[in-house]
Amino acid sequence: MTSTWSEALSRRWSRWLDRRIPPSRSVTLSQRQIFIFPSRTGFFFALCLLVMLVAAINYQNNMSYALTFLLANLFVVAVLHTYANLAGLTISALSADEVFAGQRAGFHFRFTAGNKQGHQALSVGWPQPKSSQRRRRLFTGLFSSADTLAEEEIELEPGTSKDVVLHAPVGSRGWYRPERLRIESTFPLGLLRCWTWVALDQRALVYPAPLVSPEPVAAQGDAQDGRWLSGAGDDEFSGIRDYRQGDNPRRVYWKGLARGQSLQTKVYATAVADARWLDWEQFVGLDQERRLSALCYWVMDYHRRELEFGLRVPGTELAPASGDRQRDAALRALALYKLSDEAQVQ
């Protein structure tokens, strides 16, 4: 019962955040995106002020009144300065690294100062992935900083920007979207905590984890048999055909012409190796995910050896080619196999 209530409350909180701070590629923090609340130190400070006020009233001591109101005024001024340290900051999503399942993806951000004072002692990070811990943080985080998965402290001088890379572990293949990014500060006195949760429109493509497996038999055969490209090269005599305008005079079959035959041209061929094919049906006995992982391993192996290869999986066929573009296209096809373009890792 408690868990159900907590989950419902968490969903309502998430929907409210989505309306108040919708996902975007860049966010400039203002009053709408920033939350502020006393820290634990701030609550202890307020309790001390209350005790001092009670003592001043009890003893009717003017100096006690003066000290109490001076410190209370300091608390109010700290509210303004703590808020100003976050206001005007612009956070932009740059890119995300493509990784294999089980690795840590790097997410690139740019922080740009937006006020004349700059921004000091900013803590940036993501929440821990466990949903139960995340729910507790959303509602108990008013009083203390949330535990983070990846965190970095940054400072910005006025008119400057800084690129930051945060890493997060990813799960299975597909698209991975990180949690909302938490940015907070207790500058300058630590009496108040000012924070925000921004959702940046950013995702990382996660490839299947490579699975070491025997080289497909068909691929080995293609590499050994080879074929001949007629009409190209000078390696081996291939045959004779009728003369065509523009043929090389050195390849004209003069002996046949001397015997009274029509003008003909000798044709040569060049031996080339067949391109390797990586086919879904070559890995019989493996389930879907293990097949994708085995194909991923051989895509990376052929690319490392600079070999030409093609890929066939149900619904997708890549013509034989080599190079980084072929590798990236093959890995993308394996990562998104039977997934919609918007599918993502939770």
pLDDT of residue 274: 55
Please tell me the predicted confidence (pLDDT) of residue 218: 58
DSSP state of 247: -
Q: What is the mean pLDDT of the chain?
A: 82
186 contact partners, CB below 8 Å, separation of at least 6: 39, 82, 121, 192, 193, 194
Residue 75 has what pLDDT? Answer: 94
CA distance 88 to 29: 5
* Mean pLDDT for the stretch of residues 319-338: 92
**Does residue 232 surpass a pLDDT of 60?**
no
Q: Which residue has the higher pLDDT, 178 or 251?
A: 178
Torsion of CA 128, 130, 134, 140, to 10 degrees: -90
Q: What is the DSSP string of 10-45?
A: HHHHHHHHHHHS--BSEEE--TTT-EEEE-HHHHHH
What is the per-residue pLDDT for 142? 47
pLDDT for 56: 92
CA distance 142 to 193: 8
pLDDT in tens, 266-322: 776 554 455 689 999 888 888 999 999 999 999 999 999 989 999 999 988 999 998
Per residue in 183-197, pLDDT (tens digit) is 999 998 999 999 999
Tokens at residue 75, please?
A: 């608390």
**What is the model's pTM?**
0.73
Give start-end residues of each CATH 2.60.40.10 domain in the chain: 2-207
For 2-207, CATH gives 2.60.40.10
148 within 8 A of 125, measured Cβ to Cβ:
yes
Q: Which residue bears the tokens 């980084």?
A: 324
Contact assessment for residue 180 and residue 129, using Cβ atoms and an 8 Å cutoff: no
pLDDT of residue 103: 92
247-250-256 Cα angle (round to 5):
90
DSSP state of 302: H
Q: Provide the pLDDT confidence category of residue 149 given band limits of 50, 70 and 90.
A: low
pLDDT of residue 129: 54
130, 105, 35, 111 alpha-carbon torsion, rounded to 10°: 170
Residues 279 and 312: beta-carbon distance below 8 Å: yes
pLDDT of residue 226: 45
Helix (H, G, I), strand (E, B) or coil at 157: coil
pLDDT of residue 17: 87
Q: What are the φ and ψ backbone dihedral angles of 85, each rounded to 5 degrees? A: -70, -20
CA 263/CA 286 separation, integer angstroms: 59
> Which of 39-43, 152-156, 310-314, 338-342 has the lowest average pLDDT?
338-342
In this prediction, residue 237 carries a pLDDT of 63
Which of 111-115, 256-260, 301-305 ranks highest by mean pLDDT? 301-305
d(CA 239, CA 231): 10
Q: Which residues contact 254 (CB under 8 A, 6 or more apart)?
A: none
Q: What pLDDT, in 10s, does the model give residues 51-107?
A: 999 999 998 889 999 999 999 999 999 999 999 999 999 999 999 999 999 999 999
Peptide bond into 188 cis (omega under 30): yes
